[in-house]
Amino acid sequence: MLQIGPVTSAHSSQERAVTLPGRLDLLLINPNSRARVYQSLGSDLAAVEPPVWIGLLATFIRDRGYSVKILDAEAEGIGPEEVAERVRQLNPRLTAVIVYGQQPSASTQNMTAAGEVCRAIKRLVPDKPLLMGGLHPSALPERTMQEESVDFVCQGEGPYTLLGLLRQPEWKGPVDYTQVSGLWYRKQGVICSTPQAPVIEDLDKDLRAVAWDLLPMDKYRAHNWHCFGRIDDRKPYASMYTSLGCPFKCSFCCINTPFGKPMIRYRSPDSVILEIDELVTKYGVRNIKMADEMFILNERQVLGICDLIIQRGYDLNIWAYARIDTVKDSMLKKLKQAGVNWLGIGIESASKYVRDGVDKSFGKKDIKEIFDKIRAADINIGANFIFGLPDDTLTTMQETLDLAIELCPDWANFYSAMAYPGSKLYDLAITNGTTLPDTWVGYSQHAYEALPLPTDHVSAAAVLQFRDQAFHTFFEHPGYLAHVERRFGKETVAHIRSMTTHRLKRKFAEAPLQPEAA
């Protein structure tokens, strides 16, 4: 069994590690899930996202004097065996496979690939300490310890847990894990854990920026829709956080799992602009995703960031998340001036009754009014819709699709409701004995194994089938294509027509949908 010397937990911002020349303290790995998660969509349509959370962890650890490398297996397109060989060659003191995704709900779907990577590493270098962290492991730490080939699981954000382990000069001697917060480990074959670490309080100091110099910046590309109107200009690309967490409690979301409760913390606008300066001047980045779960929330924060971007005169193409009830007239002009060309808006369902059931309340009138205001500011809208929420019927799902066609956003994401670990829907599914995917990749919206939740009225397979049909109904609709041509040009229309030639293969399918009984 892996042996590690006594560990202390005291943290000092002045701490500097003593690292031997040429020795690697920490290797952070982003597993490669692209082909299984997106099927044929992954080759050229989906974004290639930088692993932002891994980059923040790298900065935290490196700022304390430890040597760090990042292996982004997804960006490099390499599989488990090659990842394991890289681990053998680099010979880090600690290897950490971090399981996050392009959005909070994308963590679980990456667990299948992450598990394959861990098994490959343990086959090749079995004595090397291996940790798994991220949103999904934080949601199910004990199960992750039971099922995965790892020595440790990190529950929580991760920086203090990694730091506590790395403080030991050698991995040997008697073990005292009790002083390492947020750690799951084995003691004489028994799975044990320590209290979760406190969240990072000062983002400007401790999570000030992604370690961009450790990432293959030439390999990242924006979403196809992010670059409508200039579809061949998707690189270079970056995503970043200006805040962490979310104060809301939508039952289908698991964003706050690593933080322990609904909350939000902000970086200062001055800190944010320093990172944007680096991306623009050093890497030539124009396309930027604000990965915050709720970028459009704090007016002072948003306007502060916008003002600094405007002062520099950067020509950026930014997209960010918002809610119907957080978009304010006073923000829109500044957002556009700063280069925020897209806002992602969660509509979820046309039915207020269905939305109320997942703790997301606003009216249809509110939706249309906000859409009009955003469009008046010349900002594009990416709208998110969910089929198969607990109170959904075939009728309410059709109403949601009809609303999408009526609103005609510049882009639409159509999701099936999934019971993501860490969400209220997952807890409810476990309580009710609902059948869940038998592989973690089955939590992907686009994977062959995808299996959404059933509703009280509609089977899981029917929800999935409805979602797939809705995608093609919307993107092949003459009204939508005419709108896209007016706004973005014929080249973008041709791109969408090519996109809709892709048909997802599904393990779970049903006969043609039948109307509900009267």
| Domain 26-193 indexed as CATH 3.20.20.370 | no
pTM of this structure:
0.90
User: H or E element: which one contains 56?
Assistant: helix 52-62
Instruction: Provide the 10 A C-beta neighbour count for residue 251.
Output: 17
User: Both tokens of residue 280?
Assistant: 């623009």
Per the CB < 8 A criterion, the answer to whether 114 and 108 are in contact is no
- Say if CB 417 and CB 386 are below 8 A apart: yes
Other CB atoms within a 10 A radius of the CB of residue 366 amount to 13
**What one-character DSSP code corresponds to residue 505?**
-
Q: Do 170 and 162 meet the contact criterion of CB atoms below 8 Å apart?
A: no
pLDDT given for residue 267 in this prediction? 96
What is the pLDDT tens value at each position of the chain, 518 positions in all? 343 333 333 344 445 665 566 789 999 999 998 767 666 555 577 889 999 999 999 999 999 999 999 999 999 999 999 999 999 999 999 999 999 876 656 788 899 999 999 999 999 999 999 999 999 999 999 999 999 999 999 999 999 999 999 987 665 666 678 889 999 999 989 999 999 998 898 999 999 999 999 999 999 999 999 999 999 999 999 999 999 887 776 666 666 666 667 778 999 999 999 999 999 999 999 999 999 988 988 999 999 999 999 999 999 999 999 988 888 888 999 999 999 999 999 888 887 766 665 555 566 778 899 999 999 999 999 999 999 998 899 999 999 999 999 999 999 999 999 998 888 888 899 999 999 999 999 999 888 899 999 998 999 999 999 999 999 999 999 999 999 999 999 999 999 999 999 899 998 866 565 555 44
Provide the pLDDT for residue 188: 87
Question: How far is it, in rounded angstroms, from Cα 413 to Cα 41?
Answer: 14
- Phi and psi dihedrals of 225, rounded to 5? -65, -30
Whole-number CA gyration radius for the chain? 23
The pLDDT value given to residue 425: 87
Q: Which two tokens stand for residue 148?
A: 């995965």
Q: What is the largest CA-CA distance in the chain?
A: 75
The reply to whether omega before 236 is within 30° of 0 (cis) is yes
CATH number of the structural domain 221-417+452-499:
3.80.30.20
Tokens read off for 115: 């598990």
The full length of the chain comes to 518
Rounded distance, CA 180 to CA 196, Å? 9
- CA count, 13 A, side-chain hemisphere, 518: 0
429 in Cβ contact with 453 (< 8 Å): yes
Domain spans of the chain?
A: 26-193, 221-417+452-499
